[in-house]
Chains A and B, each alone.
Chain A
Amino acid sequence: MQAAILAPGTAAEAVASEAALAEIAMPDAGEMILPSRTLEPLERLDIYRGMYTARLREALEVDYPALAGFFGEKTFAELTALYLRHCPSRSYTLNRLGDGLPEFVQGVENLPRRGFVCELARVELAMTQVVDETETPVLEVETIAKVPGEAWPSARLQPVAALRLLALRYPVNAYLNAIWDGGPVPKLLRKNTWLAISRRNYVLIRTDMRRPAFETLSALAAGKTLGEAIGNRRISEKNIFAWFRDWAGAGVFQSVAL
Chain B
Amino acid sequence: MSNNRWGYPDLGFGVGLRSVHFSHILEHQPPVDWFEILSENYMDTGGRPLYVLDFVAERYPVVLHGVSMSVGSTDPIDFEYLRKLKALAKRTDARWVSDHLCWCGVSGLNVHDLLPMPYTDESLGHTVERVRAISEYLERPLVLENPSTYVEFASSTWTEWDFLGRLAEESGCGILLDVNNIYVSSFNHGFDPNVYVDSIPGDRVCQIHLAGHTHKGTHILDTHSDHVIERVWDLYRRAYQRMGGISTLLEWDESIPGFEVVHAEALKARRYRQAQATPPGPADRREIETYAAV
Contact check, B110 vs A32: say whether CB atoms are below 8 A apart. Answer: no
* A44 interfacial by beta-carbon distance below 8 Å: yes
Contact check, A47 vs B112: say whether CB atoms are below 8 A apart. Answer: no
Residue in B108, B115, B154, B218 whose CB lies within 8 Å of A38: B218
Contact check, B153 vs A32: say whether CB atoms are below 8 A apart. Answer: yes
A55 with B112: in contact, given A2-B107, A34-B154, A92-B81 (CB under 8 Å)? yes
* B221 interfacial by beta-carbon distance below 8 Å: yes
A2 with B219: in contact, given A45-B151, A135-B51 (CB under 8 Å)? no
Contact-size category for B: 35 or more
Q: Mark A14-34, 1 if CB is under 8 A from B, else 0.
A: 000000000000000011111
* B274 interfacial by beta-carbon distance below 8 Å: no
Q: Given the complex of chains A and B, what is the CA–CA distance between A118 and B211 in angstroms?
A: 41
Q: Given the complex of chains A and B, what is the CA–CA distance between A135 and B51 in angstroms?
A: 9
Chain A residues contacting B68 (CB-CB under 8 Å) are 92-93
- Which residues of B from 48 to 107 have beta carbons under 8 Å from A? 48, 50-51, 68, 70, 78, 81, 104-107
* A219 interfacial by beta-carbon distance below 8 Å: no
A6 with B113: in contact, given A36-B188, A95-B44 (CB under 8 Å)? no
Q: Which residues of B approach A to under 8 Å, CB–CB? A: 40, 43-48, 50-51, 68, 70, 78, 81, 104-113, 115, 150-155, 188-190, 217-219, 221, 294
Q: Given the complex of chains A and B, what is the CA–CA distance between A94 and B151 in angstroms?
A: 24
Contact check, A36 vs B189: say whether CB atoms are below 8 A apart. Answer: yes
Q: A6-B111, A30-B154, A55-B112 are in contact. List 19 more A-B contacts (CB 8 A).
A: A34-B152, A34-B153, A36-B218, A37-B190, A37-B294, A38-B218, A47-B219, A47-B221, A48-B111, A48-B150, A88-B109, A88-B110, A90-B108, A91-B110, A92-B78, A94-B40, A131-B47, A161-B46, A162-B46
Contact check, B110 vs A47: say whether CB atoms are below 8 A apart. Answer: no
Shortest Cβ gap from B290 to chain A (Å): 13
Shortest Cβ gap from A128 to chain B (Å): 10
Residue in B47, B48, B105 whose CB lies within 8 Å of A2: B105
* A202 interfacial by beta-carbon distance below 8 Å: yes
Contact check, A36 vs B219: say whether CB atoms are below 8 A apart. Answer: yes
Shortest Cβ gap from B43 to chain A (Å): 7
Q: Given the complex of chains A and B, what is the CA–CA distance between A34 and B191 in angstroms?
A: 14
Contact check, B115 vs A1: say whether CB atoms are below 8 A apart. Answer: yes
Shortest Cβ gap from A166 to chain B (Å): 19
Q: Given the complex of chains A and B, what is the CA–CA distance between A89 and B108 in angstroms?
A: 9
Contact check, A93 vs B151: say whether CB atoms are below 8 A apart. Answer: no
Contact check, A31 vs B154: say whether CB atoms are below 8 A apart. Answer: yes
Q: Given the complex of chains A and B, what is the CA–CA distance between A135 and B45 in angstroms?
A: 9
Q: Given the complex of chains A and B, what is the CA–CA distance between A31 and B106 in angstroms?
A: 21
Contact check, A202 vs B154: say whether CB atoms are below 8 A apart. Answer: no
Q: What are the 10 A-B residue pairs with the smallest beta carbon separation, nearest first?
A: A134-B46, A92-B68, A202-B48, A38-B218, A47-B150, A132-B45, A44-B151, A34-B152, A89-B110, A33-B151
* A138 interfacial by beta-carbon distance below 8 Å: no
- How many residues on chain A are close to B (CB under 8 Å)? 42
Q: Given the complex of chains A and B, what is the CA–CA distance between A51 and B116 in angstroms?
A: 14
Q: Given the complex of chains A and B, what is the CA–CA distance between A96 and B45 in angstroms?
A: 10
Contact check, A41 vs B43: say whether CB atoms are below 8 A apart. Answer: no
A96 with B44: in contact, given A32-B153, A37-B190, A135-B51 (CB under 8 Å)? yes
Residue in A38, A89, A96, A199 whose CB lies within 8 Å of B112: A89
Q: Given the complex of chains A and B, what is the CA–CA distance between A1 and B51 in angstroms?
A: 39
Chain B residues contacting A134 (CB-CB under 8 Å) are 46
Contact check, A93 vs B48: say whether CB atoms are below 8 A apart. Answer: no
Shortest Cβ gap from A67 to chain B (Å): 20
Chain B residues contacting A55 (CB-CB under 8 Å) are 112-113
A132 with B44: in contact, given A33-B153, A36-B190 (CB under 8 Å)? yes
Q: Given the complex of chains A and B, what is the CA–CA distance between A55 and B112 in angstroms?
A: 8
Q: Mark A155-190, 1 if CB is under 8 A from B, else 0.
A: 000000110000000000000000000000000000
Residue in B108, B112, B154, B218 whose CB lies within 8 Å of A56: B112
* A121 interfacial by beta-carbon distance below 8 Å: no
Q: Given the complex of chains A and B, what is the CA–CA distance between A48 and B111 in angstroms?
A: 10
User: Which of A41, A43, A48 gathers most chain B CB within 10 Å?
Assistant: A48
User: Which of B81, B112, B115, B188 gathers most chain A CB within 10 Å?
Assistant: B112
Q: Given the complex of chains A and B, what is the CA–CA distance between A59 and B113 in angstroms?
A: 13
Q: Given the complex of chains A and B, what is the CA–CA distance between A131 and B47 in angstroms?
A: 6
